[in-house]
């Protein structure tokens, strides 16, 4: 059970808490105090390249993912969706984003869960494990952090990631500097994940090269096709 102490902002008795990458921030739940803590949390997350509010489009595209193994083999796994808050693995709640200083290129990490037979050689120090019983045959669920671009090399279809915030849409963030930062992150993440999808990339190349019948389609219809592709 969580013991609540005092609100970080006003010092009054805390009535709840707000999630942040490094734990929980206590709040009295007053709107002004909560907004101040949300702001503090979002600034902190931006500095560390973490996004706490996001969703995959679509969940279907997160399944049956080909996972390349270090030994040259392949496994079938799944990109982990955002899960309920886990006290021991709270980092799994966050989308891990970094930028390379040299080129300002977006580098995005997601977590993969995949299956291994009981007798597979797995280095526990590198991969977290849990066991499941499936048709009387015990298997190992392994989990690892992988670059989105590396997954895209072995998978023709990839999910799109939408970034939002505690206020809902990113445009609803009240402080302009933070709103601008989040709007940039949301745009870049969406563009990055769409262009890493080879199915969509081939469609766009065929459309804009103009040497196929796709050129006859209006752009509005092309957008409808892409939106339908990313709908469960």
pLDDT tops 70 at residue 2: no
Say whether 205 sits in a helix, a strand or coil. Answer: helix
Q: What is the pLDDT of residue 104?
A: 62
* Residue 56: both structure tokens together: 């995959």
Q: What pLDDT was estimated at residue 197?
A: 94
Q: What is the pLDDT of residues 155-201, one digit of tens each?
A: 999 999 988 887 777 888 888 888 888 888 889 899 999 999 999 99
Give residues with Cβ within 8 angstroms of 92, minimum separation 6. 80, 83, 86, 111
pLDDT 10s digits, 82-137: 654 444 444 446 788 876 545 567 888 888 888 765 434 444 434 444 444 444 44
Cα gap 68→151, rounded to integer Å: 8
Query: What does the mean pLDDT of the chain come to?
Result: 77
More confident residue, 130 or 230: 230
* Percent of the chain topping pLDDT 70: 79
CA distance readout (Å), 211 to 198, 200, 224: 19, 17, 21
State both tokens at 158.
Answer: 């990839």
């Amino acid at each position: 059970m969580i013991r609540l102490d005092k609100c970080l902002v006003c010092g009054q008795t805390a009535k709840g808490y707000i999630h942040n990458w490094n734990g929980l921030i206590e709040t009295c739940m007053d709107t002004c105090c909560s907004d101040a803590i949300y702001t503090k949390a979002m600034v902190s997350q931006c500095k560390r390249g973490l996004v706490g509010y996001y969703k995959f489009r679509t969940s279907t595209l997160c399944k049956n993912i080909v996972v390349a193994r270090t030994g040259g083999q392949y496994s079938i796994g799944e990109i982990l969706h955002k899960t309920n808050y886990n006290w021991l693995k709270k980092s799994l709640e966050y989308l891990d984003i970094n930028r390379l200083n040299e080129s300002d290129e977006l580098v995005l990490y997601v977590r993969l869960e995949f299956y291994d037979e009981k007798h597979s050689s797995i280095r526990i120090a590198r991969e977290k494990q849990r066991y499941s019983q499936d048709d009387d045959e015990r298997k190992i669920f392994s989990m690892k952090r992988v670059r989105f671009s590396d997954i895209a090399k072995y998978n023709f279809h990839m999910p799109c990631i939408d970034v939002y915030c505690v206020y809902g849409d990113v445009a609803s963030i009240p402080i302009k500097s933070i709103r601008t930062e989040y709007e940039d992150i949301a745009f870049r993440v969406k563009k990055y994940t769409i262009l890493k999808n080879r199915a969509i990339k081939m469609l766009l190349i065929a459309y804009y090269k103009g040497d196929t019948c796709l050129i006859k389609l209006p752009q509005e219809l092309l957008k409808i096709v892409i939106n339908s592709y990313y709908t469960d």
